[in-house]
Amino acid sequence: MTPSDRDATGLLTQSESTRADDFVQLVSPTGERRANAEFDPWITDVDPAALGRLYRDMAIVRRIDTEATALQRQGELGLWPPLAGQEAAQIGSGRALRDDDFIFSSYREHALAWCRGVEPAELLSVWRGSAASGWNPFEHGMAVPQIIIGAQALHATGYAMGAAWEGTDTAAIAYFGDGATSEGDVNEALVFAASFDAPVVFFCQNNQWAISEPVGLQSKQHLARRADGFGMPGVRVDGNDVLAVLAATRIALDRARRGAGPTFVEAVTYRMGPHTTADDPKRYRTDDELVEWGGRDPLARVLALLDASGVDIEGLQRDVTAEADRAAAELRAAVTTIADPAPLTVFDNVYAEPNSHLERQREHYTRYLAMFDTSSAEGSDAAASAPAEGDAR
Amino acid sequence: MTPSDRDATGLLTQSESTRADDFVQLVSPTGERRANAEFDPWITDVDPAALGRLYRDMAIVRRIDTEATALQRQGELGLWPPLAGQEAAQIGSGRALRDDDFIFSSYREHALAWCRGVEPAELLSVWRGSAASGWNPFEHGMAVPQIIIGAQALHATGYAMGAAWEGTDTAAIAYFGDGATSEGDVNEALVFAASFDAPVVFFCQNNQWAISEPVGLQSKQHLARRADGFGMPGVRVDGNDVLAVLAATRIALDRARRGAGPTFVEAVTYRMGPHTTADDPKRYRTDDELVEWGGRDPLARVLALLDASGVDIEGLQRDVTAEADRAAAELRAAVTTIADPAPLTVFDNVYAEPNSHLERQREHYTRYLAMFDTSSAEGSDAAASAPAEGDAR
Amino acid sequence: MTTLTLAKALNAGLRRALADDEKVVLMGEDIGTLGGVFRVTDGLKAEFGAKRVVDTPLSEAGIVGTAVGLAYRGFRPVVEIQFDGFIYPGFDQIVAQVAKLHYRSRGNVRMPITIRVPFGGGIGAAEHHSESPEAYFAHTAGLRVVACSNPADAYVMVRQAIASDDPVLFFEPKRRYHVKGEVDETASLADARPMGVATTVATGTHVTLVTYGALVQTARDAAVAAAEDGISIEVIDLRSLAPVDYATIEASVRRTGHLVVTHEAGQQGGVGAELAASITERCFEFLEAAPVRVTGHDIPYPPAKLERHHLPDLDRILDGVDRVLGRPNSLSGVEA
Amino acid sequence: MTTLTLAKALNAGLRRALADDEKVVLMGEDIGTLGGVFRVTDGLKAEFGAKRVVDTPLSEAGIVGTAVGLAYRGFRPVVEIQFDGFIYPGFDQIVAQVAKLHYRSRGNVRMPITIRVPFGGGIGAAEHHSESPEAYFAHTAGLRVVACSNPADAYVMVRQAIASDDPVLFFEPKRRYHVKGEVDETASLADARPMGVATTVATGTHVTLVTYGALVQTARDAAVAAAEDGISIEVIDLRSLAPVDYATIEASVRRTGHLVVTHEAGQQGGVGAELAASITERCFEFLEAAPVRVTGHDIPYPPAKLERHHLPDLDRILDGVDRVLGRPNSLSGVEA
Ligand SMILES: Cc1ncc(C[n+]2csc(CCOP(=O)(O)OP(=O)(O)O)c2C)c(N)n1
Ligand SMILES: Cc1ncc(C[n+]2csc(CCOP(=O)(O)OP(=O)(O)O)c2C)c(N)n1
Ligand SMILES: [Mg+2]
Ligand SMILES: [Mg+2]
């Protein structure tokens, strides 16, 4: 009953290529421009000046990321999930978006917040533990960060469905990681998006790791291949190549706007830092890997390409470094402007409408706080005078 | 920025074929044997006698199904989900299994229960509303039916992981429908199965409908294509062709036993009856469709093939009809043997170990019942003497 | 006034909401072409089109999760969960997203999502088709939880739920879908009783009997039966399970001194536990006996032939009334 | 006796379970190579191999659902949910499958699955990392729910949970992972206190104070502080949340006449509601005041800088004690 020991092929199809470098690359790690007939037409507007601006974005967000990590080490932030290594994936896609497009991100997409003009204090307040979220999503076209892995993929899909039903050509974009592709929510989002031709881009940053788990544990297949089975195109790009990412995202957004439905973009990149400042990556990965990926740095290759294009990269670097330092200083300064929240604000915004139960709880807690202090508990500095654990009565 | 209005292709791959008949067929609806170099070697043992046995299985389960539907109409069952139309998909796969393989089914796989020697009363008790389940899974190598759509796909995967870890070559098979492919659980099962090379077969009966929803609402892509993106082979077979199903399942099981991992089988079939006896399919589908699929009947083509092979099909039909009638009569007789459960059995088997809370509740309810009746509430006929809603005190 | 079944009253309420606000969209499995397995959305797709009444893929997390995105975009999604027992795959999206996004976004993002759930047993159904999961949601901050019990309320409350800027879990007593009642289709929402307010459906002096959903009718029947024994029961239809209208219950218990709560859900951590605890806190000195709970057992929902031994019925409620009043009852003589 | 942190005691208990029974397998995200984000499974993969200590794909439904299949196959899976707030994607598999399969299969299929959940706040974490979801599971028939509070219990209870033929939700007080205590690694399970039995951790005569998990220590501190004011508090560590060991609590309340329950979870429908309601039922005539609940507010878990205004602490517990005793307290003079 076993006629052969090799797999039947026929319709028992399974694609074979899982080579890591099997992706679209427009700029090599050493800065050579690789021609690509499909992708090149989408970035004809990117002249050296524009490329310089992409470099600037990446350099600044890298500096902001470093500064935020330092702030966490110094106790100013409770936690920080660094984006280091993923600058091209985030800036390349972020700069492809139109202002009216809506971003549903995970927790690591600080560069998207940068693209959307989120203020430093807005960016940090949630990581400082001072606020449930930093910015108003409707001011920046970007949802509050999502910690539940994959949940935002459905939100982006629903948003996109709504935008299409309204007859607009606005798109939504969902950011998630390689690990997230294992969650039901992401897969269900692909189902819904395909079914409703939703104008949504699924942007997967495959940074090789989900905390300590390598991407191979989530999938033995390229993640971009996931798309086809759900009825949408998938593309795998070098996520450390800002031009490839920009082009792929533009292609995907164009499809969305034309009513042609969703696209799945896998950006192959690497998380150079720890998962978060609470993580110790030495426990699960080798220095060799870091060195290898360090050689594929997203910024270095853009500089090399600019250099080859005749741009004065020393001047550029000088300017950008100064700008980045200013951004870092602003960040540091912003931390101190984030007020500690007043105690009774714990009750704010649980409901949009009056709620008898919560109002009673709030009233009771107000009375409780009043036992400790004669000054108002409502003031923003009231936290300082609230009871400390273990205070004698 | 929009260089062309056609889709970029390149790595933006998306497979194109969504033709309904794009599947493996070994026997045409009119009974012609179609040669297939990949699949034929897997069914060389199926001589006319063996084919006759497959016909017999299908005819009997069809008859059982009709009888159960009648029993429901007559009030003997609370509900029945008919399998009519899916005989080949279920018998072809069921007869590919080894005794030690374990089945995790949905609610419609009565033919699998037949293959596994489940007794009529065991089959019906749950649909009569008399018991939480009918048979002991370990006696028949088949889990209790699953109503939560898709949940069993994960159970099959876990079972298969365990069987492999134990070093056996036992496989598990998960049955689910086209609609189920939209649930997170099924997709997560594909992830886990691929990651752990679990010896599991995902057997999707695409019967074109999920209650009133056509398969096109769940997916615009062939469901079998889902497999590739998760890193496993997928095969789409004519689910009304018992030989194609048998071969595909054998191929998949062989892969599983060899440690080569999971396979996804999509059996393209049709639910000829209502979703359940509570459903009214006239509200959502046309007679034309029924007529069309009626022309692809799984039994008729086997008969035609047997006829062409020189088998006395009239004799066969006579014998099988008699057998099927006997099976139906046994089913009908079995219904009356299913005892009404005793009231206090509601508390049985909630926990495997003593539970103080539930024991107290049981004791209280025992006392409560005792108020109405002096005879024991434990006896199996006690239900008859328990209080009826609205009884005067 | 029109005479409508509860299911048809919901249908009318949904139609009205769709007509009144173009941002209202209905989503769910089989709600469009089929009109829902209970026909609650019958005819609405034909009337409002496939972009307002949306048959979705088979995925509860998907339905609720895309509803969140639609709410972000300014829609007011009304989600149907086909049966109570199928809400759990959507639990994360409900509890971690729908419930928390207004708080998480510091009030910037509203989640005016209504999640309709046909709930409860008594219809002889298969497993997972008769559950009472309301306590999970009543325990979840950020959600409102309501249950209707009659056609008039159904018509009004579903519209109120949809109009609410907070997410509402809307429980529908499926075994009463086909029971008729008078519905005033002309009354304005502004004049209607707010959905957060309980209704005293029978006045009485000896015992306060609180319930919701399908058991409201059983409780009324119990009050009638008890009256023959000279026991006067005040029946309160809770309507809102979170927040609870304690003012109404407290006022009653202060008069009667006795509280019985009944629901189909299990006892451990059910809505009755919160009611008993809260009323004890608020009315301790008025209580003449400990509040009594008459509930489903703490078991998975049993097979259909046993469900009448699980669900509270008139007799079990009256036994609870006897218990709270210290009259002979099933636990007489049992140490508490 | 060895001195171990609570996390290391769990590690030792898991190691012992893995060594004693080859059918025990550990599953979860980052539990293998990393040893878990709290290092509870540190070193176990190296010792027992990747088929006994399994790093799984990132999917909670997937982990619990495959654990169900493994249980069908005769394994005893021990699942780690990385943080409390990530349990909800697995809710359906827990509530509709793990909890119900023994019942559904009429006792044929056992689900000896232990689901470990680091729970609670007080560690300054981000959203979804400080939740107390235990009441959802205590309301679910078919599950056992326990919480450990100290290293000695952690070591024994985790082994008892794994040995149990019923599924157990095992809650671990994450903010006490690093607190040390004496552990007897030689004692046999047979002699150990069953996990369903509560422990009286401080004896007292005026008030019975019941809690579990991280707040056990806070409650003990409160008892010490109250003693200075001449108030004698009996502190009970519940340990098992479902079923509850009412015998121990009842005996205490009959002596003290006063019950205070405290937990981090919200009040509405929390475990405290069930305790208050049940104790009122069982001890009504012994109660001198309504049971008091000191709980987290009914809000989503607040940002880290506000968590001390959400979590019950020593002062809030003592305020609750004052309330139950009728001493001056924050609600003095407020109509109940
Ligand atoms: C539902 C859920 N489960 C688990 C976690 C814990 N967790 C936080 S980040 C993370 C890994 C995510 O990996 P990936 O999706 O690749 O994103 P990355 O962090 O690499 O950007 C895990 C397991 C979570 N936040 N949510
Ligand atoms: C989680 C869940 N959601 C919804 C349902 C209700 N339901 C029962 S069967 C069904 C359709 C299933 O379709 P499919 O998977 O194609 O299987 P088929 O019935 O066609 O065999 C639905 C929606 C359910 N049982 N479980
Ligand atoms: Mg990653
Ligand atoms: Mg189907």
* C-alpha–C-alpha distance, residues D289 and D285, integer Å: 10
Residues in C touching A118 (Cβ below 8 Å): none
Q: What is the pLDDT of residues C88-145, one digit of tens each?
A: 999 999 999 999 999 999 999 999 999 999 999 999 999 999 999 999 999 999 999 9
* C-alpha–C-alpha distance, residues A71 and B75, integer Å: 72
- Please say whether the beta carbons of B257 and B171 come within 8 A: yes
Residues in C touching D136 (Cβ below 8 Å): 136, 139
Q: What is the mean pLDDT of chain D?
A: 97
Cis peptide leading into residue D173 (ω within 30°):
no
User: H helices of B116-241, where?
Assistant: 120-128, 137-140, 151-165, 184-195, 215-218, 226-230
From C169, C188, C207, give the residue that closes a domain: C188
* C-alpha–C-alpha distance, residues D281 and D289, integer Å: 13
Q: Are residues C62 and C15 in the same domain?
A: yes
Q: Are residues C238 and C144 in the same domain?
A: no
A17, pLDDT greater than 90: no
Q: Encoding tokens for residue D272?
A: 């405290």
Our answer on whether the CB atom of C114 is closer than 6 Å to any ligand 2 atom is no
| Chains with 3 or more CB pairs under 8 A to chain A | B, C, D
Chain center to CA of A133: 15
Q: Are residues D17 and D145 in the same domain?
A: yes
* C-alpha–C-alpha distance, residues A99 and D173, integer Å: 45
Q: Are residues D19 and D131 in the same domain?
A: yes
- Please say whether the beta carbons of B298 and B241 come within 8 A: yes
Give me the sheet containing A200-206, strands edge to edge: A102-104, A172-177, A200-206, A263-268, A234-238
Q: Which of the listed residues A80, A106, A149 should we mutate to test ligand 1's pocket, taking the one with most ligand atoms within 8 A of CB?
A: A149
Distance A208 CA to ligand 1 centre (A): 12
The chain B residue lying nearest D90, using CA atoms, is B185
Q: Which of the listed residues B152, B187, B211 should we mutate to test ligand 2's pocket, taking the one with most ligand atoms within 8 A of CB?
A: B211
Angle CA D104–D108–D109, to nearest 5: 75
Instruction: Please count the residues of chain B.
Output: 393
The pLDDT value recorded for residue D334 is 84
Residue C333 lies in a domain: no
Residue C330 lies in a domain: no
Helix axes A298-308, A48-73, angle to 10 degrees: 150
Q: Are residues D168 and D33 in the same domain?
A: yes
Q: Which residues of A302-339 are buried (b: 16+ CB within 10 A; e: fewer)?
A: bbbbbeeeebebeebbeebeeebeebbeebbebbeebe
* C-alpha–C-alpha distance, residues B210 and C82, integer Å: 13
A164, pLDDT greater than 90: yes
Chain center to CA of B248: 16
- Please say whether the beta carbons of A74 and A127 come within 8 A: no
Q: What is the pLDDT of residues D149-207, one digit of tens each?
A: 999 999 999 999 999 999 999 999 999 999 999 999 998 898 999 999 999 999 999 99
Angle CA D275–D281–D287, to nearest 5: 85
* C-alpha–C-alpha distance, residues A300 and A298, integer Å: 6
The pLDDT value recorded for residue A383 is 40
* C-alpha–C-alpha distance, residues C69 and D241, integer Å: 37
The pLDDT value recorded for residue A21 is 77
From the list A78, A278, A367, the residue facing D334 with the nearest CB is A367
The pLDDT value recorded for residue C187 is 83
From D188, D223, D245, give the residue that closes a domain: D188
Our answer on whether the CB atom of A147 is closer than 6 Å to any ligand 1 atom is yes
* C-alpha–C-alpha distance, residues A338 and D303, integer Å: 13
Q: Encoding tokens for residue A360?
A: 């009673």
Q: State the pLDDT confidence band at A386, using cuts at 50, 70 and 90.
A: very low
* C-alpha–C-alpha distance, residues D257 and B306, integer Å: 84
* C-alpha–C-alpha distance, residues D203 and D215, integer Å: 17
Mutation site for D-interface testing, chosen from C264, C280, C292, C334 by largest number of D Cβ within 10 Å:
C280
Our answer on whether the CB atom of C62 is closer than 6 Å to any ligand 2 atom is no
The chain A residue lying nearest B24, using CA atoms, is A11
CATH number of residue C140's parent domain: 3.40.50.970
Residues in A touching C25 (Cβ below 8 Å): 165
Residues in A touching C89 (Cβ below 8 Å): 184
Give the gap in angstroms from C-alpha C252 to the nearest C-alpha of chain B. Answer: 26
Q: State the pLDDT confidence band at D294, using cuts at 50, 70 and 90.
A: very high
The pLDDT value recorded for residue A373 is 78
Residue D161 lies in a domain: yes
Instruction: Report the share of chain A in percent with pLDDT over 90.
Output: 89
Ligand nearest to the CA of A86: 1
- Please say whether the beta carbons of A175 and A152 come within 8 A: yes
* C-alpha–C-alpha distance, residues B155 and A271, integer Å: 34
Q: Which residue has the higher pLDDT, A160 or B19?
A: A160
The amino acid at residue C57 is P
Residue D268 lies in a domain: yes
- Please say whether the beta carbons of D196 and D240 come within 8 A: yes
Q: Which residue has the higher pLDDT, A18 or D258?
A: D258
From the list A79, A344, A387, the residue facing D315 with the nearest CB is A387
Mutation site for C-interface testing, chosen from B130, B178, B345, B389 by largest number of C Cβ within 10 Å:
B389
Which residue range(s) make up the domain with C291? 199-325
Q: What is the pLDDT of residues B172-228, one digit of tens each?
A: 999 999 999 999 999 999 999 999 999 999 999 999 999 999 999 999 999 999 999
A381, pLDDT greater than 50: no
The amino acid at residue A192 is F
A308, pLDDT greater than 60: yes
Distance B222 CA to ligand 4 centre (A): 14
The neighbouring-strand residues paired with B237 are B24, B267
Q: Are residues D233 and D304 in the same domain?
A: yes
**Judging by DSSP bridges, how do beta strands A200-206 and A172-177 pair with one another?**
parallel
Known catalytic residues of A are 271, 275, 284
The pLDDT value recorded for residue B193 is 98
CATH number of residue D229's parent domain: 3.40.50.920
Give the gap in angstroms from C-alpha D105 to the nearest C-alpha of chain C. Answer: 12
* C-alpha–C-alpha distance, residues C75 and C72, integer Å: 7
The neighbouring-strand residues paired with A235 are A265
From D188, D213, D248, give the residue that closes a domain: D188
**Judging by DSSP bridges, how do beta strands C144-147 and C240-242 pair with one another?**
antiparallel
Residue C336 lies in a domain: no
Q: What is the pLDDT of residues A20-49, one digit of tens each?
A: 779 999 999 999 999 999 999 999 999 999
- Please say whether the beta carbons of A21 and A229 come within 8 A: no
* C-alpha–C-alpha distance, residues B359 and B348, integer Å: 10
Is residue D206 annotated as part of the catalytic site, yes or no? no
> Do C290 and D280 count as a contact with CB atoms less than 8 A apart?
yes
> Do B194 and A220 count as a contact with CB atoms less than 8 A apart?
yes
Q: Encoding tokens for residue A22?
A: 């099997």
- Please say whether the beta carbons of D273 and C277 come within 8 A: yes
Residue C219 lies in a domain: yes
- Please say whether the beta carbons of B327 and B119 come within 8 A: no
**Judging by DSSP bridges, how do beta strands D53-55 and D2-5 pair with one another?**
unpaired
Distance B210 CA to ligand 4 centre (A): 4
Q: What is the pLDDT of residues D129-147, one digit of tens each?
A: 999 999 999 999 999 999 9
Give the gap in angstroms from C-alpha D99 to the nearest C-alpha of chain B. Answer: 8
> Do D57 and B188 count as a contact with CB atoms less than 8 A apart?
yes
> Do B184 and A182 count as a contact with CB atoms less than 8 A apart?
no
Our answer on whether the CB atom of D164 is closer than 6 Å to any ligand 1 atom is no
Q: Which residue has the higher pLDDT, A377 or C209?
A: C209
Residues in B touching C127 (Cβ below 8 Å): 132, 147
- Please say whether the beta carbons of D83 and D128 come within 8 A: yes
Residues in B touching C33 (Cβ below 8 Å): 212-213, 283-284
Residue C193 lies in a domain: no
Give the gap in angstroms from C-alpha D4 to the nearest C-alpha of chain B. Answer: 31
Q: What is the pLDDT of residues A95-140, one digit of tens each?
A: 999 999 999 999 999 999 999 999 999 999 999 999 999 999 999 9
Our answer on whether the CB atom of A71 is closer than 6 Å to any ligand 1 atom is no
Distance A53 CA to ligand 1 centre (A): 31
* C-alpha–C-alpha distance, residues A270 and A290, integer Å: 9
Q: Are residues C155 and C22 in the same domain?
A: yes
B4, pLDDT greater than 50: no
From the list C30, C229, C304, the residue facing B211 with the nearest CB is C30
> Do B343 and C309 count as a contact with CB atoms less than 8 A apart?
yes
Cis peptide leading into residue C167 (ω within 30°):
no
SS3 D86: helix
Q: Encoding tokens for residue B374?
A: 């002096």
A378, pLDDT greater than 90: no
Q: What is the pLDDT of residues A177-212, one digit of tens each?
A: 999 999 999 999 999 999 999 999 999 999 999 999
Largest CA distance in chain B: 88
Q: Encoding tokens for residue D282?
A: 């069982």
Q: Are residues C206 and C62 in the same domain?
A: no
> Do C29 and B371 count as a contact with CB atoms less than 8 A apart?
no
SS3 A257: helix
Atom of ligand 2 minimally distant from the CA of B147: 25
The pLDDT value recorded for residue D336 is 59
Q: Are residues D89 and D16 in the same domain?
A: yes
Half-sphere exposure of D294 (CA within 13 A, CB side): 31
Q: Are residues D82 and D206 in the same domain?
A: no
SS3 D16: helix
Which position among D102, D129, D206, D263 bears the catalytic label?
D129
Average pLDDT (B29-34) is 97
> Do C57 and B218 count as a contact with CB atoms less than 8 A apart?
yes
Into how many domains does chain D fold?
Answer: 2
Which position among C102, C129, C263, C310 bears the catalytic label?
C129
What is the 8-class DSSP label of residue D246? H
Q: Which residues of C185-205 are buried (b: 16+ CB within 10 A; e: fewer)?
A: eeeeeeebeebbebbebbebe
Our answer on whether the CB atom of B148 is closer than 6 Å to any ligand 2 atom is yes
* C-alpha–C-alpha distance, residues C120 and C176, integer Å: 10
Q: What is the pLDDT of residues B355-391, one digit of tens each?
A: 999 999 999 999 999 999 755 444 444 344 444 433 3
Our answer on whether the CB atom of A67 is closer than 6 Å to any ligand 1 atom is no
Distance A205 CA to ligand 3 centre (A): 7
| Helix, strand and coil in chain D, % to nearest 5 | 40, 20, 40
Angle CA B5–A173–B7, to nearest 5: 20
Q: Are residues C262 and C320 in the same domain?
A: yes
Q: What is the pLDDT of residues B322-343, one digit of tens each?
A: 999 999 999 999 999 999 999 9
- Please say whether the beta carbons of D290 and C284 come within 8 A: yes
- Please say whether the beta carbons of D30 and A283 come within 8 A: no
Give the gap in angstroms from C-alpha B264 to the nearest C-alpha of chain D. Answer: 17
Our answer on whether the CB atom of D58 is closer than 6 Å to any ligand 1 atom is yes
Per-position DSSP letters for C178-216, written without gaps between them: T-EEEE-TT--GGGSPPTTS-EEEE--SSEEEEE-TTHH
Residue C250 lies in a domain: yes
- Write the residue with the smallest CA distance to atom 20 of ligand 2: B210
Q: Which of C150, C156, C167, C251 is nearest to C195 (CA)?
A: C156
SS3 C139: coil
Helix (H) or strand (E) holding A117, with range, is: none
Distance B211 CA to ligand 4 centre (A): 7
Which residues make up the environment of ion ligand 4, defined by Cβ < 5 Å? B 177-178, 207, 210
Q: Which domains does chain A have, with CATH numbers?
A: 16-337 (3.40.50.970), 343-385 (no CATH)
From the list C29, C85, C298, the residue facing B358 with the nearest CB is C298
Q: Are residues C46 and C6 in the same domain?
A: yes
Average pLDDT (A64-71) is 98
Angle CA D303–D306–D309, to nearest 5: 135
Distance B196 CA to ligand 4 centre (A): 28
The chain D residue lying nearest A340, using CA atoms, is D305
